[in-house]
Amino acid sequence: MPEVFLPFASFGLQSRMPMRFEADVFECEVEGTIPPELAGGYFRSGGDRQYPSLEDDIILNGDGMVSAFWFENGHVSFRSRYVQTQRLVAERAARRRLYGHYRNRYTDDESVSNLPQRDNTGNTYAFAHNGRLFALREDSRPYEIDPATLETLGEADWGALRSTALTAHPKIDPVTGEWWSYAVFADGEPSRAASLHVFDAEGRLTREQWFETPFPGLSHDWGVTRDHLVFPIMPLTADDRRLRAGGAYYQYQPDLPGKWGVMPRDGDPARDMRWFDVPGVMGHVMNAYSEGNTVVIDTPISPGNCFCFFADRNGRFPELPETVTQITRIVFDLSRPDAEAVSINPLPGALGDMPRIDDRFAMQRYRTGYFSLRAFPEMGVGQIDWDSGEVKVHSLQHAAAQEPVFVPRAPDAAEGDGFVLTVVDRLADKRADLLILDGRDVSRPPLATIKLPFAMPMAFHGSWIPTPQETNA
Ligand SMILES: [Fe+2]
């Protein structure tokens, strides 16, 4: 009997079905006027199953689907393509599902056992570095994508890299152009092995250092400042025995604190890390910076388990209020003893996730942050002014905003002077729009609305690649 498509669990206790098609829309319908400064491509990656999944599948297990909005002279074209991963190619050849649960190779078809990079779906971040585009996934090595066509070019060359994985939340140093990366489970097993990596502006590996985390915990994003590194290890733990029994990759441990490692940026993580206890669960980081011995990191954090599709050891899944994240400023004062070093400051009104900034201000003191507002039932796009603590909101009716990505108006524009691009799910219409908002004040009406004639499954993270400007020689 052929398998049928079943709903999968998403964030916020939602249940979803895959879309399963690749699309081309040569000329998108546009309301308003596309700002002439927007010339380039907006690339995103998300998960969308090509073949049926096992029961109780989760959003993180979808096949990578990269999409692009190309902007040219006020016109917009759209395309989406599956990342042609080893696993997708194998399933298409077999014309059936071969892979089982999220990161559990013991649930796969026997014909594909022990395939390296088994979990490499590329479904998490369409990440641009030095004009190249990569489909990232935190347990794997990135695939390279052609930004002109979305064709999968294959796994890129990582030189002498030992780690089996590169985080799906790398940081680009705006001063040096370096690609900063790390991995937990860096040996490919549910272990305490972690690694730190730096690639130079041309993508050559210049640094790799291994260390151990306090427990084999989830770590989806991190902080890089000009002087320090911050590694948050969450109380969702992986265990090979559970995997062999067919269980979930992660189990929530409510009795464990989050462990946050802080170290000097140029230090040795195995020797120089200080581990601090921080309650709550987070996935993402907005930005981080250092001021002397003080390290500031801004993160959406939930009181319970925001990774709501992973149960605790009693099989309990969280209630909705436990999963709601609030953007919180965590400050580590490294001049103080461990027990007194951490202060935790939730920002009033900043309920939501998927935080982004003006990336030119990464790793340094900054003023403006953007996020998907999820102050149920209110949904929309939020904008934080960290100097005043004010939160501006672009409120949406019967719609939800995906990640807001900022594009500067010009290379030398002031912080926040530019555009916020966010895909909005029109839930009742089963359709999606791309909104162009004013980065200085997202609460204003959209500058332009780019309309798609179909729904878009929630994608995760994206990048803007500007069209190279012609210069007069
Ligand atoms: Fe993420």
pLDDT tens per residue across span 230-243: 999 999 999 999 99
What distance in angstroms lies between residue 462's CA and the mean position of ligand 1's atoms? 10
What distance in angstroms lies between residue 170's CA and the mean position of ligand 1's atoms? 10
What distance in angstroms lies between residue 290's CA and the mean position of ligand 1's atoms? 23
Which percentage of the chain shows pLDDT scores above 90?
Answer: 93
Backbone angles phi, psi at 288, to 5 degrees: -145, 150
The answer to whether residues 304 and 323 touch, using CB atoms and an 8 Å cutoff, is yes
Mean pLDDT of 409-436: 96
Residues 6+ apart with CB under 8 A from 183: 138, 163, 164, 165, 166, 167, 194, 195, 197
Q: What pLDDT is attached to residue 288?
A: 99
Q: Residues in the chain, how many?
A: 473
Res. 473: pLDDT tops 50: no
In the block, which residue shows the tokens 């996730």? 353
Residues 6+ apart with CB under 8 A from 217: 184, 233, 234, 235, 236, 237, 238, 256, 259
What distance in angstroms lies between residue 393's CA and the mean position of ligand 1's atoms? 22
For residue range 71-130, what is the model confidence (pLDDT) as tens digits?
999 999 999 999 999 999 999 999 999 999 999 999 999 988 777 789 999 999 999 999
Res. 200: pLDDT tops 80: yes
Q: What pLDDT is attached to residue 117?
A: 80
What distance in angstroms lies between residue 238's CA and the mean position of ligand 1's atoms? 18
What distance in angstroms lies between residue 135's CA and the mean position of ligand 1's atoms? 13
Backbone angles phi, psi at 52, to 5 degrees: -55, 155
What distance in angstroms lies between residue 321's CA and the mean position of ligand 1's atoms? 20
- How far apart, in whole angstroms, are the C-alpha atoms of residue 376 and residue 320? 10
Residues 6+ apart with CB under 8 A from 365: 289, 291, 296
What distance in angstroms lies between residue 166's CA and the mean position of ligand 1's atoms? 13
What distance in angstroms lies between residue 265's CA and the mean position of ligand 1's atoms? 22
- Which residues are registered as beta bridge partners of 302? 281
Upper half-sphere CA count for residue 43 (Cβ side, 13 Å): 33
What distance in angstroms lies between residue 401's CA and the mean position of ligand 1's atoms? 15
Instruction: Look up residue 257 and give its DSSP letter.
Output: P
Closest to 382 in 3D by CA, of 404, 359, 365: 404
For residue range 252-304, what is the model confidence (pLDDT) as tens digits?
999 999 999 999 999 999 999 999 999 999 999 999 999 999 999 999 999 99
What distance in angstroms lies between residue 89's CA and the mean position of ligand 1's atoms? 25
Residue 96: C-alpha distances to residues 3, 6, 39, 101 (Å): 8, 15, 40, 15
What distance in angstroms lies between residue 42's CA and the mean position of ligand 1's atoms? 17
Q: What pLDDT is attached to residue 470?
A: 61
What distance in angstroms lies between residue 98's CA and the mean position of ligand 1's atoms? 26
Rg over CA atoms, the chain = 21
What distance in angstroms lies between residue 110's CA and the mean position of ligand 1's atoms? 31
Instruction: Look up residue 312 and give its DSSP letter.
Output: B
What distance in angstroms lies between residue 143's CA and the mean position of ligand 1's atoms? 17
Tokens, residue 332: 């580590």
What distance in angstroms lies between residue 263's CA and the mean position of ligand 1's atoms? 23
What distance in angstroms lies between residue 221's CA and the mean position of ligand 1's atoms? 7
Res. 216: pLDDT tops 70: yes
- How far apart, in whole angstroms, are the C-alpha atoms of residue 456 and residue 473? 43
Tell me the whole-structure pTM to 2 decimals. Answer: 0.97
- How far apart, in whole angstroms, are the C-alpha atoms of residue 435 and residue 421? 6
Phi-psi region of 443 (alpha: psi -120 to 50; beta: other; left: phi over 0): alpha
What distance in angstroms lies between residue 94's CA and the mean position of ligand 1's atoms? 31
- Which residues are registered as beta bridge partners of 351? 326
What is the 3-state composition of the chain as percent helix, strand, coil, each rounded to the nearest 5? 10, 45, 50
What distance in angstroms lies between residue 313's CA and the mean position of ligand 1's atoms? 24
What distance in angstroms lies between residue 402's CA and the mean position of ligand 1's atoms? 12
For residue range 306-361, what is the model confidence (pLDDT) as tens digits?
999 999 999 999 999 999 999 999 999 999 999 999 999 999 999 999 999 999 99
What distance in angstroms lies between residue 137's CA and the mean position of ligand 1's atoms? 9
What distance in angstroms lies between residue 111's CA and the mean position of ligand 1's atoms? 31
Q: What pLDDT is attached to residue 456?
A: 87
What distance in angstroms lies between residue 17's CA and the mean position of ligand 1's atoms? 20
Res. 471: pLDDT tops 70: no
What distance in angstroms lies between residue 471's CA and the mean position of ligand 1's atoms? 36
Q: Is the dihedral of CA 104, 108, 112, 114 positive or negative?
A: positive
**Single-letter amino acid code for the residue at 315:** G
Res. 472: pLDDT tops 60: no
What distance in angstroms lies between residue 242's CA and the mean position of ligand 1's atoms? 25
The answer to whether residues 147 and 166 touch, using CB atoms and an 8 Å cutoff, is no
What distance in angstroms lies between residue 18's CA and the mean position of ligand 1's atoms? 19
What distance in angstroms lies between residue 85's CA and the mean position of ligand 1's atoms? 20
- Which residues are registered as beta bridge partners of 431? 426
Residue 67: C-alpha distances to residues 82, 125, 339, 452, 453 (Å): 9, 11, 46, 12, 15
What distance in angstroms lies between residue 460's CA and the mean position of ligand 1's atoms? 6
In the block, which residue shows the tokens 């000329």? 27
Q: What pLDDT is attached to residue 369?
A: 98
What distance in angstroms lies between residue 301's CA and the mean position of ligand 1's atoms? 13
What distance in angstroms lies between residue 365's CA and the mean position of ligand 1's atoms? 22
What distance in angstroms lies between residue 403's CA and the mean position of ligand 1's atoms? 10
Q: What pLDDT is attached to residue 42?
A: 98
Which percentage of the chain shows pLDDT scores above 70?
Answer: 99
Q: What pLDDT is attached to residue 318?
A: 97
Q: What pLDDT is attached to residue 113?
A: 74
Query: Rounded mean pLDDT of the chain?
Result: 96
Q: Let me know the angle formed at the C-alpha of 263 by 260 and 268, rounded to the nearest 5 degrees.
A: 125
